[in-house]
Structure 1
Amino acid sequence: MARQERSERTMERLVMAAADQFASQGFVKASLADVSRSAGVTKGALFFHFSTKDELADAVLARAQDVLETMVEELCEAEPIFLQVVVDLTHALNRLLRDDAFVMASVRITRERVNGRPAPLDFYPLWLSRLWRLLDHARRNGELGRSVADASARTMVTAAVSGVETLTWTRVSRKETEKWLSDLWELVLPLLRVEGTGRTVRTVAPLAHAPSLEERC
């Protein structure tokens, strides 16, 4: 048991170190030697757990998925309106791309790794598929206008994700990006949602501590 616990701790240090290295140096530039040195483990220990840099990158992408799913769960606990969750998740992305090493690393892995077709856990497929699923929930919940095509709603979400990631990549400040997002949602939400239902959707970033509700996504 003690050996297994040590092995798990070593793997955790390696994955965290890889996220930091990929986020700061990029997937191409960061080496396995950099990761092992940052984690404080030998190269032998690294290769025991991960035989290639791609395997290590996959582990980082899986952790980025955990971050996303945890965020979605928390937002769904706080909001019964799925369109609000979509808006809040794009604001959360603005924060995560600056504060969370796993999400930051997932962008650089996706941008720099040439592996043929995009993998499901790459940054864009992961985030877009999750947001599109929330739009499906919004459709079933009667939040999207009947004249709004599913493809149009997905295009809007894709534009929001791409815009946040691009603004972050070009070092636009978090505050400026938040304002851009709020203005974007202010413009397009009237085109997406059903009017006259009494359901208001906030376009600005959510408060840090929102009240918890029972409904989940």
Structure 2
Amino acid sequence: MVKQQRAARTRRALIQAAAEAFTQDGFTSASLAAISRRAGVSSGALHFHFESKNALAQAVEDEAAAAFGQVTHRAALHGGTPLQGLVDATHVLMSLIAEDAVMRAGFALCRDVTRENDAALRGAWQRWVEDALSRAEQAGQLAEGVSVREVTTAIVAATVGLEVLGSTQEQWLSRDAVTRLWGLLAPRIARPRELSALSCGPSRPGSPRRPSAAPRPK
């Protein structure tokens, strides 16, 4: 049991270190030797857990995807309405990208053209946004003439833009930035009667974050 716990801690440290390295240096420039030093483990320990840098990047993406799934699941359960759940999910996701190295790296790896990837995390976000808007349409929340597909495109483009800009300027990922975004979008997509009950800020202050969230490296 102790050995298994130690192995789990080592693996976790390597994923965290890799996430920080991939975000700061890019996938190509980040070396396995530097990642093992950052994690405080030997190169042998790294290769015991991960056979290649690609395998390590995949582990980062998998962990980010799992955290993303928790965000959207909680938003769907506790958002109240589909539109409020979508607003809340946007806030929590941008907060995690700002504060959590693994989530940040998961999205950064989606746009890294130096390695083959299918941008699965961004694709999952697009599908979830479209599903949330479809549920909002079925609930009668969307304004007349609003196209789910077109609004999905606008929201995904805007949030991916915040994520990319936030990689160098953190204010783009702030609560205020996301609230302003929804302040612009909500009146254009929601029925007037829905607006009074819709919070463009997070409706649940202190929304849960990943327990492993770490401060952004300076």
Distance of 1:143 and 1:198 partners within structure 2:
9
Q: CA RMSD in A?
A: 2.5
1:145 is displaced (CA, Å) by 3.1
Whether 2:125 is the aligned partner of 1:127: answer: yes
Equivalent residues in 2 for 1:1-217, closer than 5 Å = 1-116=1-116, 118-121=118-121, 124-171=122-169, 173=171, 177-196=174-193, 200-209=197-206
The DSSP-based 3-state class of the residue aligned with 1:98 is helix
Unaligned runs of 5+ in 1: 211-217
- Give TM-score scaled by structure 1 length: 0.81
Distance of 1:34 and 1:198 partners within structure 2:
50
Number of residue pairs aligned between Structure 1 and Structure 2: 207
- Give TM-score scaled by structure 2 length: 0.81
1:51 is displaced (CA, Å) by 0.9
Shift in CA distance, 158/116, structure 1 to aligned 2, threshold 3 Å: same
C-alpha distance after superposition, 1:95-129 (max 9, x if no partner): 222211011112332222434452423xx223222
The one-letter code sitting in structure 2 at the alignment partner of 1:168 is G
Contact 2:187 2:195 in 1 (8 A): no
Distance of 1:174 and 1:115 partners within structure 2:
26
Deviating beyond 6 angstroms after TM superposition, the runs of 4 or more aligned structure 1 residues are none
1:54 is displaced (CA, Å) by 0.9
Shift in CA distance, 16/117, structure 1 to aligned 2, threshold 3 Å: closer
The one-letter code sitting in structure 1 at the alignment partner of 2:159 is V
The DSSP-based 3-state class of the residue aligned with 1:153 is helix
1:172 is displaced (CA, Å) by 5.2
Contact 1:93 1:164 in 2 (8 A): no
Unaligned runs of 5+ in 2: 208-218
Shift in CA distance, 38/85, structure 1 to aligned 2, threshold 3 Å: same
Distance of 1:168 and 1:43 partners within structure 2:
32
The one-letter code sitting in structure 1 at the alignment partner of 2:7 is S
Contact 1:185 1:203 in 2 (8 A): yes
